[in-house]
């Protein structure tokens, strides 16, 4: 059904919302609430008990998933059917982390062997860089990797690389450049040597404007050092792309190009050749562990019954918050500094996927879709916006992400970290009994805790895949296409026109604001050029 609000379960949930008790009353009335509303997988405990969900609401949410056809939509997803309807292709990123003996088909062909061919080539290249066997054009070992990408070609690899920093090769440093602002690339190049730097141009189409602008500037920087010798490009550049012709025209050697299929969406691409920078920094073994963790979550999502299925329950509780409780935002707080990019990664994953107002049937959606996602690592976030979370006029559910053990923290630090996490979740739920108005915390503010046994490559893969599938489930229930992003394209297309007008020095027909600003910029640019002359 195109309109999810017409389903019987939706109507029943709307009625149940009006009878939902306060969170602390739920705990008072049911001593077994934690056991009932937590799900365990090997290495992971998910606690959903601090969300305003009763037994009846959970039952109705599962019914909603069933009535919305989630089981059939999940089957089509894993079967490689064209679930990305507007672009007429599959979204089969699960194949990127499938074991070599697996069978996952797109267009009737098993795509897993091709995936592993690329993975094997990536491993060989990564080992050559890590061992020092790969030299720059002048004979020096590589010391710095610069990943040039944007969106999923930037956020996923950066998150994974930073999260796995304990495993980094001691000789290597990695830098991520995405912004078209000149200062982004310039500040990186200022402290590097052309002779020991390897650039990875990460672009599915090899036409992304911001990425290719930075890539050409980086190439000019290398060629300037080597007096225009194009042979240097083959020693200092690699590409993760689907566009072989454009990569070749850029000057990157064929053996330095690592392809992936067009059914890999940008925000789901870290598992592909786009993850090359992560593989080089953390090593092929850890990258394989990350893939294995994601594959574990794939298997769980594919087979577990809805009420015990982590991605399904995370998604359903999110729908309860968004559509029935009226919470427009979702906070994600990782209690690990190395996961500092997790909120930004999930912003793109969630908001680009489900920030949609039209159903797959082409009709306006009848209800709110994806929430605003934000966050920062705890404990920093506690001193930034937790005031708003505890005492503000709006309520935003919180996903707390942590691990009992990591490679980094000493026991006193880890105890302080985890104590803060538990305290914040309890305080959000309980509030306090202060009579002084300015000290009063109302409580009844929901949270979920995802607690891993250990923060490592495998658990990172599980975590990222968990949220991927959560987003899929919500899109399936809202009946929106979670795999396109037409909203990204309109502004970029208009920017090309404005850029040409800036070059010509003449403002075209626009609204008065755009035309006024454009005229001002053209004038100021002209003044600067005159001063330089």
Helix (H) or strand (E) holding 176: strand 173-177
In 3D space, the residue among 338, 414, 291, 334 whose CA is nearest the CA of residue 167 turns out to be 338
Tell me the three state secondary structure of residue 202: strand
Tell me the three state secondary structure of residue 283: coil
510 noted as active-site residue: no
How many angstroms separate the Cα of 248 from the Cα of each of 125, 251, 253? 18, 5, 6
Tell me which of 195, 352, 376, 501 is the catalytic residue: 352
Q: Give, as one character, the DSSP assignment of residue 316.
A: H
How many angstroms separate the Cα of 150 from the Cα of each of 29, 209, 239, 318, 357? 49, 10, 14, 28, 24
List all residues 6 or more positions away from 101 whose beta carbon is below 8 Å from its beta carbon.
none
CA angle (244 as vertex; 239, 248 as ends), nearest 5: 75
List all residues 6 or more positions away from 66 whose beta carbon is below 8 Å from its beta carbon.
9, 306
Tell me which of 36, 216, 363, 383 is the catalytic residue: 383
The Cα 298–Cα 158 span in angstroms is 22
The Cα 387–Cα 383 span in angstroms is 8
Residues 16, 72, 88, 200: is their CA dihedral positive or negative?
positive
List all residues 6 or more positions away from 63 whose beta carbon is below 8 Å from its beta carbon.
8, 9, 12
Tell me which of 36, 492, 520, 524 is the catalytic residue: 492
Helix (H) or strand (E) holding 201: strand 197-202
Match 């697996």 to its residue by tokens: 102
227 noted as active-site residue: no
State the helix-helix crossing angle for 284-303 and 457-478, rounded to 10 degrees. 40
Helix (H) or strand (E) holding 277: helix 276-282
In 3D space, the residue among 143, 142, 203 whose CA is nearest the CA of residue 177 turns out to be 203
492 noted as active-site residue: yes
Phi-psi region of 480 (alpha: psi -120 to 50; beta: other; left: phi over 0): beta
Active-site residues, by number, are 352, 383, 492
């Amino acid at each position: 059904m195109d309109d999810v609000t017409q389903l019987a379960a939706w109507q029943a949930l709307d009625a149940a919302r009006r009878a939902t008790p306060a969170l602390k009353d739920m705990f008072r009335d049911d001593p077994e609430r934690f056991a009932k509303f937590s799900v365990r997988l090997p290495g992971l405990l998910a606690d959903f008990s601090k969300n305003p969900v009763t037994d009846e609401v959970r039952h109705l949410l599962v019914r909603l998933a069933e009535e919305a056809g989630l089981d059939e939509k999940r089957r089509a997803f894993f079967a490689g059917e064209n679930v990305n309807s507007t672009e007429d292709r599959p979204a089969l990123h699960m194949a990127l982390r499938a074991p070599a003996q697996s069978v996952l088909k797109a267009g009737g062909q098993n795509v897993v062997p091709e995936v592993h061919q690329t993975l094997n080539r990536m491993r060989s290249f990564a080992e050559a860089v890590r061992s020092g066997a790969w030299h720059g054009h002048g004979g020096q070992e590589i010391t710095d990797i610069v990943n040039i990408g944007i969106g999923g070609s930037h956020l996923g690899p950066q998150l994974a690389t930073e999260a796995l920093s304990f495993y980094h090769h001691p000789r290597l440093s990695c830098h991520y450049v995405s912004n078209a602002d000149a200062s982004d690339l310039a500040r990186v190049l200022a402290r590097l040597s052309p002779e020991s730097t390897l650039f990875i141009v990460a672009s599915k189409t090899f036409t992304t404007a911001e990425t290719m602008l930075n890539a050409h500037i980086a190439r000019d920087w290398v060629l300037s050092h080597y007096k225009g010798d194009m042979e240097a490009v083959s020693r200092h550049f690699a590409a993760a792309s689907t566009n072989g012709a454009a990569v070749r025209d850029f000057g990157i050697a064929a053996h330095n190009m690592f392809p992936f299929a067009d059914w890999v969406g940008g925000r789901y691409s870290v598992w592909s050749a786009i993850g090359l920078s992560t593989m080089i920094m953390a090593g092929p073994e850890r990258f394989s562990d990350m893939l294995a963790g994601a594959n574990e979550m794939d298997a769980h999502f594919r087979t577990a019954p809805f009420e015990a299925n982590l991605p399904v329950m995370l998604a359903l509780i999110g729908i309860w918050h968004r559509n029935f409780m009226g919470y427009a935002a979702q906070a994600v707080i990782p209690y690990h500094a190395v996961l500092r990019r997790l909120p930004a990664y999930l912003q793109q994953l969630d908001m680009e996927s489900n920030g949609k107002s039209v159903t797959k049937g082409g009709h306006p959606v009848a209800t709110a879709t994806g929430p605003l996602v934000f966050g920062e690592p705890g404990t920093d976030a506690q001193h930034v916006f937790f005031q708003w979370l505890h005492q503000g006029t709006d309520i935003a559910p919180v996903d707390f992400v942590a691990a009992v053990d990591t490679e980094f923290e000493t026991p006193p630090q880890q105890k302080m970290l985890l104590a803060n996490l538990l305290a914040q979740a309890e305080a959000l739920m309980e509030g306090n009994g202060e009579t002084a108005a300015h000290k009063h915390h109302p409580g009844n503010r929901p949270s979920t805790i995802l607690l891993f046994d250990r923060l490592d490559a495998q658990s990172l893969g599980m975590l990222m895949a968990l949220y991927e599938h959560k987003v899929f489930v919500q899109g399936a229930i809202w009946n929106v296409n979670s795999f396109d992003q037409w909203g990204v394209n309109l502004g970029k297309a208009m920017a090309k026109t404005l850029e040409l007008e800036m070059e010509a020095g003449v403002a075209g027909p626009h609204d008065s604001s755009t035309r006024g600003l454009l005229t001002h910029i053209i004038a100021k640019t002209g003044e600067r050029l005159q001063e330089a002359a």
